[in-house]
Copies of this chain bind each other. A is one copy, B any other.
Amino acid sequence: MNPPPVITDPLVLFMPSGKRGRFPKGTPVLDAARQLGVYVESVCGGRATCGRCQVVVQEGNFAKHKIVSSNDHLSPKGPKEERYERVRGLPDGRRLSCSSTIEGDLVIDVPQDTVINAQVVRKAALDRVIERNPAVQLCYVEVDEPDMHKPLGDLDRLKVMLEKDWGWQDLLVSQHLLSDVQAILRKGEWGVTAAIHRDLDSSRPTIIALWPGLHNEAYGIACDIGSTTIAMHLVSLLSGRIVASSGASNPQIRFGEDLMSRVSYVMMNPDGREAMTSAVRSAVNELIEKVCAEGGVSTEDILDAVFVGNPIMHHLFLGIDPTELGQAPFALAVSGAVHTWGSELGLKINHGSRVYVLPCIAGHVGADAAAATLCEGPYRQDRMMLLVDVGTNAEIVLGNRQRVVAASSPTGPAFEGAEISSGQRAAPGAIERVRIDPATLEPKFRIIGSEKWSDEEGFADDAERLGITGICGSAIIEVVAEMYLSGIISEDGVVDGAMSAVSPRILQNGRTWSYLLHDGQPRITITQNDVRAIQLAKSALYAGIKLLMEKQGVDHVDTIRFAGAFGSFIDPKYAMVLGLIPDCDLAEVKAVGNAAGQGALMALLNRGHRREIEETVRRIEKIETALEPNFQQLFVNAMALPNKVDPFPKLAEQVKLPPRKLPAPDDGTPGDNAPRRRSREERAARRDRG
């Protein structure tokens, strides 16, 4: 007898994951995907009614994979799939993976943007693909009707079917569903969709919501609660698509502009904590209403939510008194990730909705920094990455695959325009860009709301319309850097009175000098005090960064990421000229926008990312700058422009820096201003934020 011919099962490759395996002919594509751990959504459990499990066959000879893939290698559409196509519509080339079986070698694309119904898409897909593995899953089941011979409760029979069809064991149930389960089962004529939440593998899965019939929509929100702004994404948990994004002011501003004044408010007002918690939760609820209206989504369909924020926002949102964060040793009430319920936080979303809050890294390095870390992933890099989020406190993370260190540094509000004589928040009419001619010392600038430089035709009209009202954070960096590049200020930051011979814009104010940027109403000048305020802020930031570099034992960083609004507006070149950040190839300095919000989104769409950042935060080494003996010296060195001791060779390749003076024997700053600065330094070093 001849041996039977060797029959090889078809080879199937899933894209974009690249996972592959052999499966017997007749295997449904959905089953093959699941066996390989490829995430393909399905709500109806293979009944060809939800349409969530769409795939596309890539046709052709994929020589590298030794696969000749063809639509013919998939079973033809059966009656169920044809009915779905007829009733709901199926885009060209799309197939339902639950109803298509493998009949030959295949390369199968799992699209990231499967859109069901008339879901309005107003927002582009993410710029990065987040592999999906959400903590909430919709599962349609058909439950046995009650039977007097087997008097199992309605809920208990629902659980039986969720185990049988979907494999959910040991299900818990949200208390609020007990009173609804009977009516929902009967309304759905025993066909219902359950939302199952399971985040940690060690926790028991829970039925958190229930609808009659097939319910084919589930959404989540990812929210970054900043001191100034609250930013939110509304995203479909079934497709991963962002449906709407929006932002709102944090109404806590009325209790204090900066974080520490809010802590003071809590300490000084008996109901301060409640008022502040209530304010931020109301704002979050309003924002939820807004993104839902924009996306055409019911708030009842929001089943999961991820929040991040700095430690004080984190505490106030969770209803925790932040007083301890206002004084050494800056103890967080809770640093680990928080798992709770929307209803516990007063969120007006589905009553069973769950909430996940990312861990905080330290007392001044919050869940927002953790989220930004998740997003940018220094711990996934071979190269040394510096991640900076500048606010009243700068949160600094430095590291690579081997080791990550983090710290915060008390930059104060100067970068946001506070403490600057003509400073203001970014708003129409604010100066946002500045150039100074090094020969004439004449400036040109741009204001928010106009595309024109001040020396261009038509600018006067715009200025007439908008006013020229002040100078915002990004322009403060630029004007001080330009003053330095044009020789108006020395590397010690002293406005050089001798330059008044070159230009009438150099004005004397008592013992110091200032630079007249715009002679209008108001008159906009950069004073010696303004320069000092920027020097103090930037040296706090730089000293923090330098401390982390010393911890890592490196004298340069390979790549820099600026997170947050401030980073999005400043020009990396000027930031480096001023010495906010260490020397680096300018092409490697990138603004990444709201990385914290993006990180929250990742945690929302994939619970694996939650474990990833929890583990990462545990491993991150936290450096408390106030306790480091050489922080003071690094701070003093960083007062000089760009720095008293550190070279900036890469910057010098691209920008002509003024010639360097030799380091002065003492701290290198002029005596007339030293006492005042020293007291500020001490304040910064002691973190006296109260």
Contact = CB atoms under 8 A, between A and B. Distances in A.
A147 B319 contact: no
Given A175-B340, A175-B344, A321-B179, A154 B624 contact: no
B154 A331 contact: yes
**Overall SS of chain A's interface:** loop
A320 B178 CA distance: 6
Interface stretch (A217-225, A322-330, A591-599, A605-613): A322-330
A334 B179 CA distance: 9
Given A182-B320, A204-B203, A318-B178, A153 B332 contact: yes
Contacts of A155: 333-336
Contacts of A319: 178-179
Most buried by B among A145, A148, A330, A344: A148
A486 B170 CA distance: 60
Interface in A339-362: 339-341, 344, 360-362
Interface residues of A, number: 53
Interface in A634-677: none
B178 A333 contact: yes
Chain multiplicity (copies) = 2
A129 interface: no
A121 interface: no
A214 interface: no
Contact of A332 (B154, B321, B335, B340): B154
A627 interface: yes
A320 B203 contact: no
A60 to B, nearest CB: 48
Interface string A138-177: 0000000111111111111001000000000010110100
Contacts of A360: 153
B146 A318 contact: no
A624 B152 CA distance: 13
A104 interface: no
A338 interface: yes
A521 interface: no
Nearest to A325: B182
Interface string A307-321: 000000000001111
A181 B318 CA distance: 13
Interface in A491-536: none
B336 A156 contact: yes
A360 B154 CA distance: 12
A151 B341 contact: no
A626 interface: yes
B363 A202 contact: no
5 contacts: A146-B329, A148-B330, A150-B622, A151-B624, A182-B333
Given A154-B331, A155-B335, 7 more contacts: A148-B328, A151-B331, A151-B332, A151-B624, A153-B331, A154-B332, A179-B333
Interface of A: 145-156, 159, 170, 172-173, 175, 178-179, 181-183, 200, 202-204, 318-321, 324, 328-336, 338-341, 344, 360-363, 622, 624, 626-627
